Amino acid sequence: MSKSISFWQKHDNNKACKVYIIGGGLVGLSAAHFLCRSDKNIEIHILERDEICGGASIRNAGFACFGSPTEIIEDVNLHGAEKTRRLIQKRWDGLQLLLKMVGEDDIDYYQNGAYELIEREKEDIKGIIMEANAIVSDVFSNKQVFSEVQLPWLSNNRYACLYNHLEGQLNPYKLVKALQQKLKIKGVQFHFNVDIEHINFDTNQCHDVCGKRYDFDKLIIATNAYTKDLLPMADVMPVRNQVYVTNVIENLEMKGCFHVDKGYIYFRNVGNRVLIGGARNQFPETEETKEFGNTEALETYLLHQLRDLIPNHKSIKFEYKWSGILGVGKDKNPIIRKINDYAYAAYKMGGMGVAIGSIVGKEISDMLIQDIQNG
């Protein structure tokens, strides 16, 4: 005979709402952060298949950015001016929110500015500056955000260099660790090496690959590039980005974040080394994948690009390499949605999850808290 629960237990008004979050990346951690701040009685569990966070959040380049001029113009062609403006506002608000959630010193945040290098012969530089400034003018109170500057070390006159002083750089690993630490203190329970295989939305249960069952009152799916594994209809595609870090370069003059080829290639200083990554648009046949890995062809391509971009340092070589998986789609808007009264999902963070991850986590947790409030 089964042992049914008592009337008293069933009507326990003090019973905590058990929230499971699948995915311990920036979005999952941010959602947990804002759930902790609510006045509701919530018990939070994070289910993460890796040992810390296996996704993009600790593998990215650490650009705290909202968009380079040509990226913004490309976004306008994709979404129209108003939607692009809203997207940039969201990225900017997200960055400010993130810096409130963690201390700048905890995450090695430096506002060294960002630069886009554009080939003079191919583009109308003045036109690009005017158009990009017009789009962001509302967000930044009509200030001229982008302007052309000369960089002494960029002796290659092929490129015009468009500067924006508002963007910064950080250490993504320290960011995730700092958030985790804060959440642990607040009682959030982390379950690492838990790979969720299936969710039953009718019974409010999910199962991991070992068959273990997790009963939830509410569920947040924050699995970004891997969301299709759990929600097959999700409109998100995994793509890979390879990242490389050079040897220590004596007298390295470059400082800040740099974008080339509409942001497909990015590089920055990490102390006296240079990190470079991207170029997936040049190698779609190998990079449209959710498998980790580095390829010789892309490595050679990026090394060649870097030697061309910083010609004073021809002896550079790569000492570190890794890869990460992005969740992208037809447009740049993240997806934040309610699946039913108990389950919510946030994914498709694209290439700017550092900027929007915090605010997306807040929005999904607000949705959930609102539903608890409404009973």
Ligand X SMILES: Cc1cc2nc3c(=O)[nH]c(=O)nc-3n(C[C@H](O)[C@H](O)[C@H](O)COP(=O)(O)OP(=O)(O)OC[C@H]3O[C@@H](n4cnc5c(N)ncnc54)[C@H](O)[C@@H]3O)c2cc1C
Binding site for ligand X (CB under 6 A): 22-28, 47-50, 53-57, 59-63, 194-196, 222-226, 229-230, 241, 243, 277, 324-326, 349, 351-355, 357
> For residues 375 and 368, what is the distance between their CA atoms, to the nearest angstrom?
11
> How far is residue 373's CA from residue 228's CA, in Å, rounded to a whole number?
30
Give least dist CB 24 to ligand X, A. 5
Shortest Cβ 316–ligand X spacing (Å): 20
Q: Which three-class secondary structure string do you get for 309-375?
A: HCHHHCCCCEEEEEEEEEEECCCCCCEEEECCCCEEEEECCHHHHHHHHHHHHHHHHHHHHHHHHCC
Q: How far is the CB of 367 from ligand X (least distance, A)?
A: 16
In a 3-state reduction of DSSP, which class is residue 32? Answer: helix
Measured from the CB atom, is 158 or 226 closer to ligand X?
226
Residue placing its CB nearer to ligand X in the complex, 48 or 75: 48
CA angle 51, 57, 63 (to 5 degrees): 150
Least distance to ligand X, CB of residue 32, Å: 11
Q: Looking at beta carbons only, is 126 or 213 nearer to ligand X?
A: 213
Report in angstroms how near the CB of residue 197 gets to ligand X at its nearest. Answer: 7
In the complex with ligand X, the residue whose CB is nearer, 150 or 227, is 227
Residue closer to ligand X (CB basis): 18 or 123: 18
Q: Is the dihedral of CA 21, 27, 29, 33 positive or negative?
A: negative
Q: How many CB atoms lie within 10 A of CB 112?
A: 16
**Minimum gap (Å) between residue 76 Cβ and ligand X:** 20
Q: Show the tokens assigned to 274.
A: 């240079």
Which helix (H) or strand (E) is 270 found in, with range? strand 265-270
For ligand X, give the closer residue by CB, 326 or 368.
Answer: 326
